[in-house]
Chains A and B, each alone.
Chain A
Amino acid sequence: MKAIFKIEEYLPKTTQIVVRFARLHAPEPIEKYHAVAVDYSKLDCYDSESFVKSLMREVGNHQVKKYEDKEPIINESETISGKLDLSSLVGRTIECKVENDKKQILKVRRVEL
């Protein structure tokens, strides 16, 4: 997921910036999302890249995720667990997590003790 941010105010006296965050593919203009005040003295301001990374790590990631969680759910869904029966899943909408491709359940041999 990509995100965007917009600095609304720069307040050097108090080392603060007022920033809005949104997903790049957000359904609303970024101005529709609440601004937050951030103390930039606690961010990595070495260069632009480090600033963006630290801003997102400290504040932006959480804000973007929060907005995403508040967006309306238009598809009713359900969760499943236990024994798999593919035929019973036909036509049902199932809720699941979007995870990193590198994260997966390892195949292991069954060991009888």
Chain B
Amino acid sequence: MTIKAAGNPLEFSEIEAEFGAQNPRSLGAYRHSQTVDGLTFNGIDTGIPSGSNDEIAFSDFYGKSLNIVVDCFSNPGTDEFRVNAKSKYINNDIVIINPTTVSKKQQGTKITIRVNKKFGSNKNSVNHCALRTGTWSNPAAVIVDLGSNAKVYGSGGNGGRGADGVGANNVGENGDKGGDGSSGLGIQHQGTIVNVRSGAILRRGYGGGGGGAGGRETSKVDRRAGGGGGGGGAGFPAGIAGKGGVPQAGTNKAGGAGKDGSNATETTGGTGGNGGDNQDQAFGAKGGDGGQNGKQSEPGGNSPGIENQVNKEPPDNYSSLPGARGINGAAIRKTSGISFSFGVNSGTIEGSTTATGVS
């Protein structure tokens, strides 16, 4: 645990308990400087002299802690997904700031999660994060340090499937909701400090577009048309296009199937597909576009056929319901009841930093 505060005499064994035994067994052996992925630790802990000729005293060690860096930077060409930094610690993907090999420990240690590569999330929930801190047992501090090449992205939601026409009693067969985007960084440890250095990007995933409504026209024969699929939302991975709806067997005379939407890219939402056009009589609606920075995802549209339905009783044009749009994830979210703060904040943050719920 962290060495006690000033006020009582300090024994050499207490320094060894925190920072490990050195050879030779002297205070001078603790003068140490180490750089990990461009992050320099001037001193075995902040304030402890590091130069070989610097004076060092027992008093320099009061209140000091072992430093451990969790490796979220190696193999920058290999992207990682849904990573728990605590799992990396358990798997010994760590660097201990020390002149010799010592044992890792959590209690009283300053944990720096150094991030300098690309992390992506997945599509199943807004709470899902590309990278999360994990929970720690009484460390002195948890610091997330995002370097200039850090990219922590939520995934884009998939586009909703277009409606398969309109149900037999003019009810049902609605467009599907667009998938929700997921989130970037998840903070699960109370008091975490987040450093977002210049060039680092924390970005939410964007919602997918809703599937378009189906259409039906019954003046002579029963013609139905499928809605277009929704476009995928921007993110990493990008949202996949929703499929176009296919009208029920026997109701599609020609051209009644809705078209698929378009996949998104990392930064740009896909477009919704056009609705089907069954012999210029029944029309499916266009699917909604997927979301991206500055643009909300869209719900699917209503069948354009019902716009042509003027003063006709009983009506012979019908629309099923369009799918709702997917919602966006967050750039940073935290476990309910905990707080975090920014140390350095000079990178790019796209999306909410106050959302709660991390998984």
Q: Does B132 contact A (CB under 8 A)?
A: no
Interface centre among B238, B259, B268 (most CB of A within 10 A): B268
CA distance A70 to B265 in the complex (A): 25
* A39 and B263 in contact, given A34-B295, A58-B274 (Cβ under 8 angstroms): yes
| Docked-complex contact B263 and A36, CB < 8 angstroms | no
Name which residue of chain A comes closest to B261, CB basis: A39
- Whether B231 contacts A42 by the Cβ 8 Å rule is no
Pairwise interchain contact A59-B265, C-beta atoms closer than 8 A: no
Please judge, given known A-B contacts A11-B265, A37-B265, whether A42 and B294 are in contact too, CB under 8 Å: no
- Give, as a whole number of angstroms, the nearest-CB distance from A63 to chain B: 8
Report the nearest A residue to B292, measured CB to CB.
A34
Contact call B259/A36, Cβ cutoff below 8 A: no
Residue B145 interfacial (CB < 8 Å): no
Contact of A37 (CB < 8 Å), options: B260, B269, B273, B286: B269
Instruction: Contact check, A36 vs B260: say whether CB atoms are below 8 A apart.
Output: no
Interface of B is mostly: loop
1/0 per residue, CB under 8 A from B, across A47-69: the answer is: 00000000001110011000000
- Is A30 part of the contact surface with B, judged by Cβ < 8 Å? no
Given A9-B265, A34-B292, check contact A42 B260 (CB 8 Å). yes
Q: Please state if B294 and A36 are interface contacts (CB–CB under 8 Å).
A: no
Q: Which of A11, A14, A36, A57 contacts B269 (CB 8 A)?
A: A36
Contacts of B216-265 to chain A: CB distance below 8 A:
231-232, 234, 238, 241, 259-260, 262-265
- Docked Cα-Cα span, A62 to B228, in Å, equals 13
**CB of B215, distance to nearest CB on chain A (Å):** 16
Assess the B271–A59 pair: CB atoms within 8 A: yes
- Total interface residues in chain B, CB < 8 Å: 23
CB neighbours (8 Å) of B286 from chain A are 62
Query: Chain A 31-47 against B: per-residue CB contact (8 Å), 1 yes, 0 no?
Result: 00011111100100000
The yes or no answer to B270 lying at the interface (CB within 8 A) is yes
A18 touches B (CB below 8 Å)? yes
Pairwise interchain contact A37-B294, C-beta atoms closer than 8 A: no
Q: Give the residue among A35, A37, A39, A62 with the most B Cβ atoms within 10 A.
A: A37
Q: Measured between C-beta atoms, what is the minimum distance from A14 to chain B in Å?
A: 7
CA gap between A9 and B294 in the complex, in Å? 18
Report A4-18 residues with CB < 8 Å from chain B CB. 9, 11, 14, 16, 18
Proximity bits, B73-86, A CB within 8 Å = 1, else 0? 00000000000000
Whether A37 touches B262, Cβ cut-off 8 Å, given contacts A18-B268, A62-B286, is yes
Chain A CB within 8 A of B45 CB: no
Residues from chain A with Cβ under 8 Å of B232 in the complex: 37
Contact B265–A38 (Cβ < 8 Å): no
Minimum CB–CB distance for B24 against chain A, Å: 58
* Contact in complex: B265, A39 (CB < 8 Å): no
Which residue in A16, A35, A63 is a CB contact (below 8 Å) of B263? A16
Q: B273 — which chain A residues lie within 8 A by C-beta? A: 58
In the complex, what residue of chain B is closest to A34 when comparing beta carbons? B295
Given contact pairs A9-B265, A37-B238, a sample of 16 additional A-B residue pairs in the complex whose CB atoms are under 8 Å apart:
A14-B263, A16-B263, A34-B292, A34-B294, A36-B268, A36-B269, A36-B271, A37-B231, A37-B263, A37-B269, A39-B241, A42-B259, A42-B260, A57-B274, A62-B271, A63-B271
22 contacts between A and B (CB under 8 A): A9-B268, A14-B263, A16-B262, A16-B263, A16-B265, A35-B268, A36-B231, A36-B262, A36-B270, A36-B271, A37-B234, A37-B263, A37-B264, A37-B268, A38-B270, A39-B241, A39-B262, A39-B270, A42-B260, A58-B273, A59-B271, A62-B274
